[in-house]
Amino acid sequence: MHGDQERQKLFARRTVMLVGGKLALVSMLAGRMYYLQVVKAEQYKMLADENRISLRLLAPPRGRIVDRFGIPLADNKQNYRVMLVSEDTRGLGVDGALDLLHDIVPMSMGERRRVLKEVSRNRSFVPVTLRENLEWEEVARIEVNAPDLPGVMIDEGQSRFYPYGPNLAHVMGYVSAVSEREKTGDRLLELPGFRTGKSGIEKIHDLSLRGSGGSSEVEVNAYGRVIRELNRREGLPGAEIRMTIDVGLQLAVAKRLSNEVSASAVVLDVHTGDVLAMVSHPSFDPNDFNRGLGVEEWNKLINNPAAPLSNKAIAGRYSPGSCFKMLVALTALERGVISPTGKIFCPGFMELGDTKFHCWKKHGHGLVDATSAISQSCDVYFYEVARRVGIDRIAEMAERFGLGDPTGLDLPGEKRGLVPTKAWKREARDQSWHQGETLLAGIGQGYVLATPLQLAVMTARLVNGGFAVSPQLTKSVSTTGVHAVPEHHQFPQISVSQRNLALVRDAMTQVVNSPHGTARASAIHDPRYIMGGKTGTVQVRRITKAEREQGVVKNKDLPWEERDHALFVGFAPADNPRYAVAVVVEHGGGGSSVAAPIARDLLLTAQRRQSARDIPISQTSGSQAALELRGTEDRVRPAAEQS
């Protein structure tokens, strides 16, 4: 009896403990559920929504680039691309689907390897781009065969397009896929297929051209698959860049240089510094970089001895030759070393020690003053003037007129020139300066180097009254589509005598228009468009004493790489300068026979285009008047629009 009571008490205690434990557990569970469902309800609701709704970034349209008259130079066009969803390929698999597609749109082995690599990295339902920038015929063939191409689909987007291709490549630059080192945390740069500017104006204004990304709210399942789009906000397009370039003139320059092996030219407005045209030949098609270059195409570009990827207008450094003589004369006139009418006798050579420095004219020019020395390009005159004035004074004047340092143009890749001094040689070469080097500098050779852009700036400053204009390519950056009229630049005036500047300008006019001028064969005979200028012929090889005695070998009889560089700097109209030009033809031969005719044609085109814009509307008719006043009367249609 007593034992039964003890067992009942033990059972009761255990029952109470078990029930109490269960109650405690239920209480804890209820408390936890209350905490999660009531106290933390908002937080977990938000997390659940984020798991269900995915916010995705949308790439904005890249901003347009237009010329000074609003003609598009870089725009966006429809981009059809073919995509592959690997899970939809059914029994064929990715390889089978690619085999079928290859019969319609051939794919290289490199493209195929890239696709397989991307498929392996992504989830099976994520589309992978097979090829972009499809032609309409290719799109049509794929769509017609769609039932037999499981997993393959056409997608539509936007792609960068340069309607004038190689004619503006060095100025515009190009866009290409974002590299790993460019990814700085900006989410736009992580988007597949996003492009950034790699060179030219595209690079300088890349941030403005990108715009602001939009967003798309999509409902996804637990695996990340898109169920439907809930909301969409388009991004803001990038800014529109208006350039100083006149595309009609640019095309004329490109066409004029197209027959040369390697050449460059720059046309400037002498008062504003606007770069109206800048061409480096040969060139490349920036559209190729947007679609992606193959290995063979890339090797062809980089192995071309004429360097099509280099913008020679700002990165090519050449001895200016006789185009430098105006600055030597101006230095001597300013320092009082020579007078405007003082004469020096040229017998065809000058002796310094046991060395003879020859004039280009074997038997000499006789007595010449500053004006005739420039117009006839007498070397002996400038040997003597340089000897008298000294290299450091010449260098100081040259720097004031834009040589030596970069001009500050808003374009990447500009190289500095070189105006040597005694201190420079001591620092750079650890050698003393020799007087013979001064004589060579006096005719723009030796150590003196300049880019075509610097020569154009020098010419502009010489003929615009001595104002230190700086070149520019960007007129305005607009996010509203409305371009404000730019203010007139107030450039500082170089401290130099207007009388001496007038003498130099008159001498340059005689280079082209006097009977003895070195460029008289390239004169413009229409009195409205008369030009001035200066020829330059730069040796790239040493002429030996024996060759001089037997007769100097003509350029046309030499290998191309041993021929002289041909240069010309010019301006027009002669009586009221508006345009400055610099032309360099590598290994072209004589400046008077090769570069001067090119410069004449460019200055004539620039002036005629301006004349057409100046015609009052009442003297023209209809839409043609509007075209002329906008400066598009000679415009060549983009290749994509030509029939």
Query: In angstroms, rounded to a whole number, what is the distance separating the alpha carbons of residues 332 and 325?
Result: 11
E strand or H helix at 477: strand 474-478
Query: In angstroms, rounded to a whole number, what is the distance separating the alpha carbons of residues 308 and 132?
Result: 26
Pair of tokens at residue 149: 């191409």
Pair of tokens at residue 73: 């130079």
DSSP assignment letter at 515: T
Cα dist from 503 to 370, 492, 510, 576, whole Å: 8, 21, 11, 15
Q: How is the chain split among helix, strand and coil, in percent rounded to 5? A: 45, 20, 35
Which residues 6+ apart lie within 8 Å of 121 measured at CB? none
Q: Which residue, 534, 574, 599, 568, is CA-closest to 277?
A: 599
The residue whose two tokens read 């597609």 is 101
Q: Which residue, 174, 169, 519, is CA-closest to 311?
A: 169
The residue whose two tokens read 């340092």 is 405
Ramachandran bin of 343, using left for φ above 0, alpha for ψ from -120 to 50, beta for the remaining angles? beta
For 215, what's the count of Cα atoms within 13 Å in the CB-facing half-sphere?
7
Q: Which residue, 418, 508, 402, 398, is CA-closest to 454?
A: 402
DSSP assignment letter at 239: P
Query: In angstroms, rounded to a whole number, what is the distance separating the alpha carbons of residues 277 and 253?
Result: 7
| Sign for the pseudo-dihedral over CA of 619, 623, 629, 635 | negative
Which residues are known catalytic residues? Answer: 322
Query: In angstroms, rounded to a whole number, what is the distance separating the alpha carbons of residues 255 and 284?
Result: 14
Cα dist from 195 to 119, 139, 158, 528, whole Å: 22, 23, 11, 47
Cα dist from 270 to 329, 464, 529, 581, whole Å: 21, 6, 16, 9
Pair of tokens at residue 601: 């044609």
* Contact predicate 282/496, CB 8 Å: no
What one-letter code names the amino acid at 635?
R
Q: b or e along 109-143 (b: 16 or more beta carbons within 10 Å of the residue's beta carbon)?
A: eebbebbeebbeeeeeebbbbbbbbbeeebbebbe
Task: Kindly tell me the burial class for residue 499, based on how many C-beta atoms sit within 10 Å of its own C-beta (0-12, 13-18, 19 or more).
Answer: exposed
Phi then psi dihedrals of residue 244, to 5 deg: -80, -10
Strands 175-177 and 214-220: unpaired
Which residues 6+ apart lie within 8 Å of 323 measured at CB? 444, 455, 534, 535, 536, 567, 568, 569, 582, 591
The residue whose two tokens read 């350029």 is 555
E strand or H helix at 400: helix 391-400
